[in-house]
C-alpha cells in the first residue's frame, strides 16, 4: 500500500515538500531553543537582583533597629516566603565580609534546598566566562549556579554579605514552555504546508491534466464538443490552446463548450478558514465572556458566559435551514462572501466589546456569518458531486473543519498568552476576511449538479419526527453528543483548567487533542462502523468511552484525567457520530423513500445543533450552583444514563423497539 502511494508523483512531491519543511522548521526551532538560553539568563539575573535587594532591605532594617548580626532570627522563614513565589531559588547565605585571609568570609546563616553545597559554590571559580558579558559585577555564574551578592550595611559600614543562588537549570522551565510552543507551531505549520501544497498542485496540475485528458478523449472519439477551459500559459496550456483551435475548426454540427474540472480542494481550505477564525479564541471564551457578564448586575458570570456561547450555537443552527432556502437566489459565492464579512465584523466587535450587551450583538452577528458560510460550503459540495462521490466530497469539507479544530485552539492559546484575548479575536477576524477575499478563486467553476442544500419542509419534518426510533436516537445519542461537546469540552474544560492555574496556552494544547484524536482515529473507526450490521452498538461504545473519560475526571480531578477525558471524547465521537448517520438512514427508510435523505439528515443536524446550543447554558447553570467539578459530575451521570438506556433498547429482546 505504501509503495503504491509512493508511485504517485503527486504524493512523492508532497512527501518531499513535507520533509523539506520539517527540516527547515526543525533547524529554526533548534536555533530558537539554544539562543533563548542566552536571552533568558539576563532575565533570570534581573529577577535574582530584585529578590536580593528585597532581602537586603529587610535585613538592614533589622540591623538598624539594634539587633546584633549574630542574633538575627527568621532567616529560614524569609527564605520560605521567597521560595513560595520563586521555585527557582536554591539557597540564601549571609556571611561576614571577605578579607585577605578569608576571601569567602565566615558563613553565619545558610538555608534553602541547596544550602549544603552553598559554601562550595561560593568558593568555586567562575564558570563559562562568556556568560558574564551581560551580567553586572555582583552576579557571577559558579558551578552552574547564578550567585547574586549584596553588601549588608549598618550606617556606612559593611557588616556582612548576602548571597542568593539560582541554578541555571531554572532556565529549563521557560525553555520547555518555549519548546512546547515551538512544537505546536511546527505541527500547525506542517499541516498548513500540506494544505497549501495540496491546493497548489490540485489547481495547477491535477485539474488541468484531468481536463486535458477529458478534452483529448472527446477529440479521439471525433465528437469535438469540449474545449480546454484553463488559461494557464505553461507547456500544457499552450498545447491545449492549439488543440482548442483544431477542435473549433473540426466542429461543424455542434458548438464546442469550454470545460473545466470541478474541484473540492478549495472548499476544504475555505471551511478551514472560517472555522479556524472562530476556534482561535476557544480556550479563553468562557473566562472572557464571564468578565463581561460580571458587568450585568444580578447575572451570575457562569450563566452569562454560557448564554453567550449557547446563543452563538443556536443562531448558527437556525441559519442553516434558512440559508438553504435563499441559496438558489444568492448563489454560493455571494452567500459565502456575505457570511465571511459578517463573521469578520462579529469577531472584530467581540474583541472590542465594552459591555455584555455589545457582546451579545457581536456574537449573534458572528453566528449568522458562521452558519451562512457553512451553508455555502455544503451547497458547493452538493453541486460539485454526484451520489457516487458525495461522501468523498463531504469528507473533504469535514477534513478542513477537523484541521481547524486542531490548529485553532493550539495557536489561539499561544496568542492569548502573549497578546491577550481581544487581539486574538481580531486575528480571527483577519482569517475570516482572508476567506472572503479567497472565495472567488477557491469556489469558482461551473457546477454540474444543481442540487441545493436539503430543505426542511413541514411535511418532511413531521414524517421524520413521527418515528419513535429516530426520536430515541436523537435524545439518547445525537443531542447528548453535542451537549457534551459544547458544554463539557468548550465550557467546563477551559473553565476548570484556568481556575486551577493552568496557562491559556496549555488549555489550547489540551483542547487541540480532541480534533487531533478524531482526525487520526476517524477513518479506521468509520470503516469498523461500516462493517457492523447494527451501527447502534458503535454509538453505544462511543457514548461509553465519553462517559468513562468524564467519570475519571469526576473521581480524580487533575490535568492528566482532563487530558484523558478529552481524548476519550474525541475517540468516542469519532466512533459514534458516523454511526448516528447510518442509524438515522436505516431507521427512516419510509421517510427517505418519500422525501429523500436530505430532510432526514438535515433534521438530525438541526436538532443536534440545537441540543449543542443548550450545552453551555446547562454547564454554566450547574457551575453557578455546584461549581465546575459538580457540573462535570452531573454531565457524567447524564452520559452513563443515555448509554445504559441505549444499550437496553438495543438488546436482542427489545428488537421491536430498538433504535437501530
pLDDT averaged over every residue in the chain: 80
**Domain boundaries 264-304+319-397+412-451, corresponding CATH code:** 1.20.1250.20
Q: Report the 10 Å Cβ neighbour count for 392.
A: 11
pLDDT recorded at residue 366: 94
Q: How confident is the model at residue 656 (pLDDT cuts 50, 70, 90)?
A: very low
DSSP code of residue 96 = P
**Distance (Å, rounded) from C-alpha 560 to C-alpha 46?**
34
pLDDT recorded at residue 346: 94
Q: 134 pLDDT exceeds 50?
A: yes
Nearest CA among 393, 401, 459 for reference residue 603: 459
Nearest CA among 276, 375, 368 for reference residue 316: 368
What does the DSSP assignment read for 407-474? HHHHHHHHHHHHH-HHHHHHHHHHHHHHHHHHHHHHT-S--S---PSPP--HHHHHHHHT-HHHHHHI
Q: How confident is the model at residue 532 (pLDDT cuts 50, 70, 90)?
A: low
Q: 490 pLDDT exceeds 80?
A: yes
pLDDT recorded at residue 408: 85
**Distance (Å, rounded) from C-alpha 578 to C-alpha 569?**
14
Nearest CA among 38, 62, 35 for reference residue 162: 62
Residue pair 499/287 in contact by the 8 Å Cβ criterion: no
Lowest-pLDDT range of 227-241, 357-371, 601-615: 601-615
Lowest-pLDDT range of 147-156, 354-363, 590-599: 590-599
**Distance (Å, rounded) from C-alpha 189 to C-alpha 199?**
15
Q: How confident is the model at residue 357 (pLDDT cuts 50, 70, 90)?
A: very high
Parallel, antiparallel, or unpaired: how do β-strands 139-142 and 145-154 relate? antiparallel
The model's pLDDT over 41-66, given as tens digits with 9 standing for 90+, comes to 777 788 888 889 988 998 888 888 88
Calculate the alpha carbon distances from 439 to 264, 273, 316, 447, 617 in Å. 12, 11, 20, 15, 34
- HEC sequence for 357-389: HHHHHHHHHHHHHHHHHHHHHHHHHHHHCCCCC
The model's pLDDT over 546-590, given as tens digits with 9 standing for 90+, comes to 999 999 988 888 888 999 999 999 888 888 877 777 777 777 777
pLDDT recorded at residue 634: 92
Instruction: Retrieve residue 275's grid coordinates.
Output: 472555522
Nearest-Å Rg of the Cα atoms of the chain is: 32
Lowest-pLDDT range of 69-83, 91-105, 427-441, 449-463: 449-463
pLDDT recorded at residue 653: 46
The model's pLDDT over 498-529, given as tens digits with 9 standing for 90+, comes to 877 787 878 888 888 888 888 777 767 766 76
Instruction: Retrieve residue 425's grid coordinates.
Output: 479575536
Q: 660 pLDDT exceeds 60?
A: no
**Distance (Å, rounded) from C-alpha 125 to C-alpha 141?**
9
Q: How confident is the model at residue 361 (pLDDT cuts 50, 70, 90)?
A: very high
Residue pair 550/642 in contact by the 8 Å Cβ criterion: no
Average pLDDT over residues 650-658: 49
Residue 145 burial (C-beta neighbours within 10 Å; 0-12, 13-18, 19+): buried
Helix ranges (DSSP H) in 164-252: 172-201, 207-220, 235-250
**Distance (Å, rounded) from C-alpha 632 to C-alpha 265?**
39
Nearest CA among 80, 53, 43 for reference residue 138: 53
Parallel, antiparallel, or unpaired: how do β-strands 91-95 and 107-111 relate? antiparallel
Q: 130 pLDDT exceeds 60?
A: no
Domain boundaries, the chain: 50-171, 264-304+319-397+412-451, 454-660
pLDDT recorded at residue 657: 41
Which of the two residues, 429 and 173, has the higher pLDDT score?
Answer: 429
The model's pLDDT over 293-330, given as tens digits with 9 standing for 90+, comes to 888 888 888 888 888 988 888 898 888 778 877 877 88
Q: Which fold has domain 50-171?
A: Beta-Lactamase (3.30.450)
Residues contacting 119, CB < 8 A, separation 6+: 93, 104, 107, 110
Instruction: Retrieve residue 399's grid coordinates.
Output: 477534513
Q: 173 pLDDT exceeds 80?
A: no
The pLDDT > 70 percentage for the chain reads 82
SS3 143: coil
Nearest CA among 485, 503, 413, 469 for reference residue 583: 469
Beta-bridge partner residues of 361: none
Residue pair 270/418 in contact by the 8 Å Cβ criterion: no
Residue pair 584/471 in contact by the 8 Å Cβ criterion: no
Helix (H) or strand (E) holding 223: none
Nearest CA among 321, 317, 314, 285 for reference residue 302: 285
SS3 535: coil
**Distance (Å, rounded) from C-alpha 373 to C-alpha 406?**
20
Residue pair 594/495 in contact by the 8 Å Cβ criterion: no
Average pLDDT over residues 355-360: 91
Q: 119 pLDDT exceeds 80?
A: yes
Which of the two residues, 130 and 376, has the higher pLDDT score?
Answer: 376
Q: 348 pLDDT exceeds 90?
A: yes
**Domain boundaries 454-660, corresponding CATH code:** 1.20.1250.20
Residues contacting 499, CB < 8 A, separation 6+: 628
Helix (H) or strand (E) holding 601: helix 597-650
- HEC sequence for 56-82: HHHHHHHHHCCCCHHHCCCHHHHHHHH
Parallel, antiparallel, or unpaired: how do β-strands 157-167 and 145-154 relate? antiparallel
Residues contacting 553, CB < 8 A, separation 6+: 561, 562, 564, 565, 632, 636
Which of the two residues, 275 and 135, has the higher pLDDT score?
Answer: 275
Nearest CA among 32, 263, 63, 290 for reference residue 160: 63
Q: Do 50-171 and 264-304+319-397+412-451 show the same overall fold? A: no
pLDDT recorded at residue 597: 62
Instruction: Retrieve residue 78's grid coordinates.
Output: 524569609
The C-alpha cell 468513562 sits at 548
Q: 655 pLDDT exceeds 50?
A: no
The C-alpha cell 492555574 sits at 501
pLDDT recorded at residue 654: 45
Residue 388 burial (C-beta neighbours within 10 Å; 0-12, 13-18, 19+): exposed
**Distance (Å, rounded) from C-alpha 550 to C-alpha 569?**
8
Q: How confident is the model at residue 242 (pLDDT cuts 50, 70, 90)?
A: confident
Instruction: Retrieve residue 459's grid coordinates.
Output: 411535511
pLDDT recorded at residue 659: 42
HSE, side-chain direction, 13 A CA sphere, residue 240:
26
pLDDT recorded at residue 391: 55
Residues contacting 391, CB < 8 A, separation 6+: none
Q: 652 pLDDT exceeds 60?
A: no
Q: 92 pLDDT exceeds 50?
A: yes
Q: Report the 10 Å Cβ neighbour count for 185.
A: 17
Parallel, antiparallel, or unpaired: how do β-strands 139-142 and 107-111 relate? unpaired
pLDDT recorded at residue 530: 64
**Distance (Å, rounded) from C-alpha 626 to C-alpha 153?**
55
Amino acid at each position: 500500500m505504501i509503495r503504491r502511494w509512493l508511485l504517485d508523483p503527486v504524493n512523492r512531491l508532497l512527501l518531499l515538500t513535507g520533509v523539506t519543511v520539517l527540516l527547515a522548521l526543525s533547524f529554526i526551532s533548534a536555533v530558537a531553543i539554544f539562543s533563548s538560553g542566552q536571552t533568558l539568563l539576563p532575565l533570570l539575573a534581573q529577577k535574582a537582583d530584585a529578590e536580593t535587594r528585597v532581602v537586603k532591605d529587610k535585613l538592614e532594617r533589622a540591623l538598624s533597629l539594634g539587633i546584633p548580626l549574630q542574633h538575627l532570627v527568621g532567616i529560614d522563614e524569609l527564605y520560605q516566603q521567597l521560595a513560595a513565589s520563586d521555585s527557582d531559588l536554591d539557597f540564601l547565605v549571609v556571611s561576614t565580609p571577605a578579607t585577605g585571609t578569608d576571601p569567602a568570609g565566615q558563613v553565619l546563616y545558610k538555608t534553602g534546598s541547596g544550602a549544603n553545597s552553598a559554601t562550595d559554590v561560593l568558593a568555586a571559580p567562575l564558570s563559562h566566562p562568556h556568560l558574564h558579558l551581560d551580567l553586572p559585577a555582583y552576579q557571577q555564574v559558579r558551578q552552574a549556579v547564578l550567585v547574586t551578592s549584596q553588601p549588608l550595611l549598618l550606617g556606612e559600614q559593611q557588616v556582612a554579605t548576602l548571597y542568593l543562588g539560582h541554578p541555571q537549570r531554572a532556565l529549563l522551565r521557560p525553555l520547555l514552555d518555549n519548546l512546547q510552543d515551538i512544537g505546536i507551531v511546527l505541527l500547525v505549520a506542517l499541516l498548513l504546508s500540506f494544505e497549501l501544497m495540496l491546493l497548489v498542485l490540485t489547481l495547477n496540475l491535477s485539474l488541468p491534466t484531468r481536463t486535458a485528458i477529458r478534452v483529448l478523449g472527446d477529440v479521439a472519439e471525433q465528437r469535438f464538443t469540449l474545449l480546454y477551459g484553463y488559461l494557464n500559459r505553461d507547456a500544457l496550456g499552450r498545447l491545449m490552446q492549439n488543440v482548442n483551435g483544431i477542435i473549433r475548426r473540426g466542429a461543424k454540427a455542434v458548438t464546442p463548450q469550454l470545460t473545466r474540472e470541478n474541484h473540492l480542494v478549495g472548499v476544504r481550505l475555505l471551511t478551514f478558514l472560517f472555522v479556524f477564525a472562530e476556534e482561535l479564541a476557544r480556550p479563553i471564551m468562557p473566562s472572557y465572556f464571564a468578565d463581561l457578564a460580571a458587568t450585568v448586575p444580578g447575572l451570575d458570570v457562569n450563566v452569562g458566559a454560557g448564554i453567550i456561547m449557547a446563543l452563538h450555537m443556536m443562531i448558527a443552527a437556525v441559519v442553516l435551514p434558512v440559508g438553504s432556502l435563499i441559496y438558489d437566489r444568492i448563489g454560493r459565492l455571494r452567500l459565502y462572501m456575505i457570511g465571511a464579512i459578517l463573521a469578520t465584523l462579529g469577531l472584530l466587535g467581540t474583541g472590542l466589546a465594552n459591555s455584555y450587551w455589545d457582546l451579545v450583538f457581536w456574537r449573534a452577528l458572528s453566528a449568522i456569518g458562521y452558519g451562512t458560510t457553512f451553508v455555502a460550503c455544503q451547497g458547493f459540495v452538493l453541486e460539485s458531486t454526484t451520489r457516487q462521490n458525495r461522501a468523498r466530497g463531504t469528507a473533504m469539507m469535514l477534513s478542513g473543519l477537523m484541521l481547524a479544530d486542531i490548529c485553532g485552539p493550539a495557536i489561539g492559546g499561544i496568542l492569548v498568552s502573549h497578546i491577550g484575548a481581544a487581539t486574538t479575536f481580531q486575528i480571527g477576524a483577519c482569517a475570516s476576511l482572508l476567506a472572503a477575499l479567497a472565495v472567488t478563486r477557491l469556489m469558482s467553476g461551473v457546477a454540474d449538479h444543481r442540487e441545493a442544500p436539503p430543505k426542511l419542509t413541514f411535511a418532511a419534518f413531521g414524517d421524520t419526527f413521527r418515528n419513535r426510533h429516530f426520536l430515541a436516537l436523537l435524545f439518547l445519542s445525537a443531542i447528548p453528543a453535542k451537549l457534551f461537546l459544547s458544554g463539557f469540552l468548550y465550557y467546563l474544560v477551559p473553565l476548570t483548567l484556568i481556575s486551577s492555574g493552568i496557562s491559556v496556552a496549555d488549555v489550547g494544547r489540551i483542547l487541540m487533542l480532541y480534533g487531533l484524536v478524531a482526525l487520526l482515529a476517524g477513518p479506521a473507526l468509520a470503516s469498523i462502523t461500516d462493517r457492523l450490521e447494527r451501527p447502534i452498538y458503535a454509538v453505544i461504545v462511543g457514548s461509553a468511552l465519553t462517559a468513562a473519560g468524564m467519570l475519571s475526571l469526576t473521581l480524580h480531578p487533575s490535568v492528566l484525567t482532563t487530558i484523558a477525558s478529552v481524548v476519550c471524547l474525541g475517540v468516542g465521537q469519532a466512533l459514534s457520530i458516523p454511526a448516528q448517520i447510518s442509524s438515522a438512514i436505516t431507521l427512516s427508510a419510509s421517510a427517505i423513500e418519500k422525501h429523500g435523505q436530505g430532510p432526514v439528515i438535515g433534521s438530525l443536524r438541526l436538532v443536534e445543533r440545537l441540543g449543542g446550543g443548550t450545552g453551555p447554558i446547562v454547564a454554566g447553570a450547574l457551575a453557578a450552583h455546584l461549581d465546575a467539578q459538580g457540573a462535570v459530575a452531573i454531565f457524567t451521570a447524564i452520559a452513563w444514563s443515555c448509554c445504559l438506556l441505549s444499550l437496553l433498547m438495543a438488546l436482542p429482546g427489545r428488537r421491536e423497539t430498538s433504535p437501530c
